[in-house]
Chains A and B, each alone.
Chain A
């Protein structure tokens, strides 16, 4: 089956090519084990019996550790955040990006994760814009311009991306700097560099470019895929960004998704500007108009710009005729949870749960799950649970994760009228 010498028949041509391409001297059954090492997901318990690794406990422990780290960093819950962001993603397409240490290749992993990141980014920051820049062969090119809708960026990413040559950090930063100089002053300027190479091929002094970016208040962050580099660390320290190096695919996904919530605002941008925006109404069903985005006649659907009355297909967008930013109120509402975050829940140790002085109901307030562990011979041992410091209701760890990562409402505080201590001016 492997290494059949001689001319292959036409019908088998493709198969044989594939076999030979993947053949590292391994048999077919051996190749199955190079990717999947199922014996690594087992561990021994106290009596020496094998068990699959209990991922939920590890998951919970990781989550609580991360939350504690975040809570110790954030002095108060009301740090101003940069909500209107203009972010450039610089993708390194040098020869190093075709390395196969991330399966199937670093480039493929980057493309997939950037697509997920862009969707998540527009979900959390609907008023922001993203642009894509690639760097290879010592030069940097703009893949897509700054735009407010995810589809055009994702389409460009899914196209064929060749990796060759060297990455150039200075050219990428210069390109981004010149593009970001044209945006309005209330926008927060950010760059996220996904760097696979271990070197940079620059025409001039990279330190000067870094100082230029620092003066223009561009916040540069880098995620490295190879190893830690001094120049990236220096860049991030000077401009106030974050530098991290990914260990594997899932770590990379975690690191890149950490950039989707808005970062703390730089002090100079904290002065409030009032930006004129329009709230278009939906056009009547059955009305015919020529839309400005596709330049063809469309019936029904769509929105009408309140200032110049042209039809646009989707929101949020900028009216092509008069330049007014058009949004709807749910888009603003998506960012409210950044402004009114909920406090992290406090842990309840199992020992204080059995204390007769505190009356804990032992069911999670959100999902009604019993908080007593139901293991073999565990009896009525209570599991780790958390409680909200404001309404004092008890929650299980899964609800805690869901509430803080997705829901952003404490069910306990929302379900009791007289525990509301913060009234939102509306």
Chain B
């Protein structure tokens, strides 16, 4: 079956890094750090991944608030050489595709979100696409690169994506693909903490955005084999408690419906979701 854990025939130290880049305009417009400075640090980081090994591969998926799409694949033959010689080819390719994506994403916006809240980005879609790409890499032959996923996320978690994100996390766990998260928003993201804990990745919230490149290159740039020799940020206190469906509060003890698995904090005679 394609879904069982792959045999450890990895080509030595060759990584495939799939990055999901949060481009949610609602988040970036209210964030003190500017998107262009963020992007320049991320691009330098991606370039350094490609410099670490000739066979390393980087794929970038943009996570918008209405759609997700691939914006860069270092192994693709559609990449064109640097157009004006002032920046590396990776930068011009990625920026060109990202421009197109953001414009298309904006056209799909409808003003339907609740006022006062920031709509979340579609992390579940980006993770699903990343996992499909990684499965393709597994099929490419016995000496395939070691895949991992890095989520550069700032938007808050969208509770409507909970089931889809958990499905993606369990599938990543089965295929032995670690999901690292670099979360730049204000409060910790429970979904990404759980993702990194369950799949064996790293969750890190950089304290200072000006030094983002340093955090990225010291924490997230190492390949999986070398991680055993490094002291990387440990995850503290991942909260696995559930929230009840009626009040959305986290509970210690609750009642679970045997048919639909909804969680309630008080005993009812009938489950309200099942009827």
Contact B124 A332 (CB under 8 A): no
Complex CA gap A269/B260 in Å reads 12
Asked if A83 is an interface residue, CB under 8 A from chain B, the answer is: yes
Complex CA gap A162/B129 in Å reads 49
Complex CA gap A415/B65 in Å reads 9
Q: Which residues of B contact A416 (CB under 8 A)?
A: 66-67, 108, 122, 125
Complex CA gap A307/B198 in Å reads 26
Interface of B is mostly: mixed
Asked if B14 is an interface residue, CB under 8 A from chain A, the answer is: no
Contact B259 A265 (CB under 8 A): yes
Contact A414 B124 (CB under 8 A): yes
Question: Which residues of B are interface residues toward A (Cβ below 8 A)?
Answer: 1-3, 65-70, 73, 76, 108, 110, 122, 124-126, 128-129, 131-133, 135-136, 139, 159-164, 166-171, 174-175, 194, 198, 237-242, 245, 251-264, 267-268, 270-271, 273-274
Q: A274-B255, A276-B255, A366-B128 are in contact. Are A423 and B160 (CB under 8 A)?
A: yes
Asked if A21 is an interface residue, CB under 8 A from chain B, the answer is: no
Number of chain A residues close to chain B: CB under 8 A: 62
Complex CA gap A264/B121 in Å reads 35
Asked if A150 is an interface residue, CB under 8 A from chain B, the answer is: no
Contact A272 B163 (CB under 8 A): no
Q: Which residues of A contact B136 (CB under 8 A)?
A: 367-369, 398-399
* Contacting residue for B135 out of A276, A365, A399, A424, CB 8 A: A399
* Contacting residue for A330 out of B198, B245, B259, CB 8 A: B198
Residue in B closest to A415 when the chains form the complex, CB atoms: B125
Q: Which residues of A contact B139 (CB under 8 A)?
A: 398
Return 21 A-B CB contacts under 8 Å, by A number. Answer: A80-B259, A272-B271, A273-B258, A274-B256, A274-B268, A276-B253, A279-B241, A279-B253, A282-B237, A306-B253, A330-B170, A334-B166, A339-B260, A368-B133, A368-B136, A406-B175, A409-B124, A409-B164, A415-B128, A416-B67, A416-B108
A-B contact count (CB 8 A): 192
Contact A418 B259 (CB under 8 A): no
Q: Which residues of A contact B255 (CB under 8 A)?
A: 274-277
Asked if A313 is an interface residue, CB under 8 A from chain B, the answer is: no
Asked if A226 is an interface residue, CB under 8 A from chain B, the answer is: no
Asked if A411 is an interface residue, CB under 8 A from chain B, the answer is: yes
Q: Which residues of B contact A418 (CB under 8 A)?
A: 66, 108, 110
Q: A272-B270, A336-B167 are in contact. Are A83 and B259 (CB under 8 A)?
A: yes
A394 → B minimal CB distance (Å):
12
Residue in A closest to B239 when the chains form the complex, CB atoms: A281
Contact B253 A307 (CB under 8 A): yes
B63 → A minimal CB distance (Å):
9
Complex CA gap A340/B164 in Å reads 10
Asked if A405 is an interface residue, CB under 8 A from chain B, the answer is: yes
* Contacting residue for B131 out of A270, A334, A368, A407, CB 8 A: A407
Contact A402 B135 (CB under 8 A): yes
Contact B124 A273 (CB under 8 A): no
Interface centre among A270, A329, A365, A398, by most chain B C-beta atoms within 10 angstroms, is: A329
Contact B129 A277 (CB under 8 A): no
Q: A84-B258, A277-B254 are in contact. Are A334 and B170 (CB under 8 A)?
A: yes
Asked if A337 is an interface residue, CB under 8 A from chain B, the answer is: yes
Q: Closest 6 A-B residue pairs measured CB to CB? A: A366-B132, A415-B125, A414-B125, A367-B136, A333-B166, A406-B3
Contact B252 A402 (CB under 8 A): no
Which A residues between 361 and 415 are near B, CB-CB below 8 angstroms? 364-369, 398-399, 401-403, 405-411, 414-415
